[in-house]
Amino acid sequence: MNKINGKTEVIGVLGHPIEHTLSPVIHNTVSEATGRNAVYVPFHVYDEASKNAISEQAEIEALVRGAYNLGIKGLNVTVPYKSAVIPYLADIDPLAERIGAVNTLVRTDKGYKGYNTDMPGLYMALQKRGIVIEGSTAVVLGAGGAARAVIAMLLNYGASRVYLVNRTFEKAVQLSDEMNKLFADVIGSRSGVIPISVDNIDSVEVSVSDSSLDKAVAESGYLMFQCTSLGLKAGDGLLVDDDELYKRASYGFDLVYNPAETPFTKKLKSLGIKCDNGLLMLLYQGIIAYQYWTETEIGSDVVEKAKMNLCKAVYGDNLILTGYMGAGKTTVGHALAEKLGMDYIDIDAYIVEKEGRSIPEIFKEGGEEAFRNIETEAIRELGAKTYNTVIATGGGAVLRDENAKLLKEMGRVFYLYASPEETFTRVKGDTGRPLLDSDSEQQLKDKIIDMIRVRYHAYMRTADVRIDTDGKDVEKISEEIISQFK
């Protein structure tokens, strides 16, 4: 986190409840990565006596004024205040006004201006995935608050026809009517929203003829949005369990992001259809809000960093194992992955697969320097795409300053320490380790002692935790690591 001083800008999110918010992860990552002196904090807004949300108009007014008077640079607003704050804003963006909900307050000379970045956030996420909304046909599953935002996005950005499927048909009818009225001017002569009951999905047509644009889209299928709460709980099923509905989709988006895979995303993937979960929407609504507050453009490398930290916060951090060869990184790594339900990657194995050569071959052809360059690149690549993974490093990976920094950013680093004697017992007779080629046992022993002495500080400076492994079995070592990782 940046150093807080008298010039630190304060941004935050207000809501009730608020403790599970992921927004601080997004915004503080962006501030840190861009070097901005700003801090993003949660504001738990509730009535102390009743422990409920505040609801008196005068209190909400005082809240918005108070935030402004405190000089708060910008705010996110979440449940249950997204509509309640609107009367106390100096200005409001037309789209937010139309749907009657703001999630972002931007400081102006006169007070806060309200925006809703949920819809543009989803739109931006879809754009990044190459999905075209204009002229599309969409199928929305669910008729609650999430469906409302998705339908508003679809209509606002020019979807041609939206089928709304819901368990309770009356709610689908109600929401369709409401949205068709709200966006009547945008819909024009297009179809708008059409309510469908779950046992009438046969009437969902891929092909629509509202405009010439539709034809191209129709050929590839419709876009599907999963907006029910199904998928949040283990054992949840699909709203409509009929492949016919899913087969005709060209793309699917599930607003649920935890767990990462839901019955909906699994179904589409099993049919070979591209799909994403709601994490991208969460990410981009935040990025757009940050851009409003700071009037800056956030570059894609920073967005990727925020996404990685978000993934780590939602799905789990990486657990990195370092240590001299023979320290037990592979054995312990596999055991940990199994126990914690995480993936496992061995950086050396990753390099061998990527290069199509064995490590002794890489050493033979280019020397240690060439290998270390490849290794740094591999660490960088993995850091940009892995979370919830146990990662075993090569024995010498920590030697370079650059690697040490990358590994620390990648996750929580555990140094598996073994004494020279123990290391000797573990690695003698092993031929796949070029740095240990020796003529005699004594020479091997000396090499090990020497290497451990030289590398010890490199390991220690990279490590968050040192684990002594001498005389301990895999079970015991794993337990120690898990107790310090959680």
Interface ranges with ligand ATR (CB under 6 A): 142-147, 166-168, 171, 227-230, 239
Q: Minimum distance between the CB of residue 365 and ligand ATR, rounded to whole angstroms?
A: 56
Q: Minimum distance between the CB of residue 198 and ligand ATR, rounded to whole angstroms?
A: 8
Measured from the CB atom, the residue of 167 and 466 that comes closer to ligand ATR is: 167
Q: Minimum distance between the CB of residue 250 and ligand ATR, rounded to whole angstroms?
A: 23
Measured from the CB atom, the residue of 256 and 340 that comes closer to ligand ATR is: 256
State which residue has the least CB distance to ligand ATR: 144
Q: Minimum distance between the CB of residue 241 and ligand ATR, rounded to whole angstroms?
A: 11
Measured from the CB atom, the residue of 83 and 443 that comes closer to ligand ATR is: 83
Among the listed residues 3, 73, 82, 274, the single catalytic one is 82
215 is known as an active-site residue: no
Q: Minimum distance between the CB of residue 307 and ligand ATR, rounded to whole angstroms?
A: 22
Measured from the CB atom, the residue of 218 and 230 that comes closer to ligand ATR is: 230
Q: Minimum distance between the CB of residue 236 and ligand ATR, rounded to whole angstroms?
A: 7
Please state, in angstroms and rounded to a whole number, the distance separating the CA atoms of residues 23 and 286. 7
Measured from the CB atom, the residue of 200 and 229 that comes closer to ligand ATR is: 229
Measured from the CB atom, the residue of 196 and 399 that comes closer to ligand ATR is: 196
Measured from the CB atom, the residue of 126 and 149 that comes closer to ligand ATR is: 149
Q: Minimum distance between the CB of residue 235 and ligand ATR, rounded to whole angstroms?
A: 10
Active site residues: 82
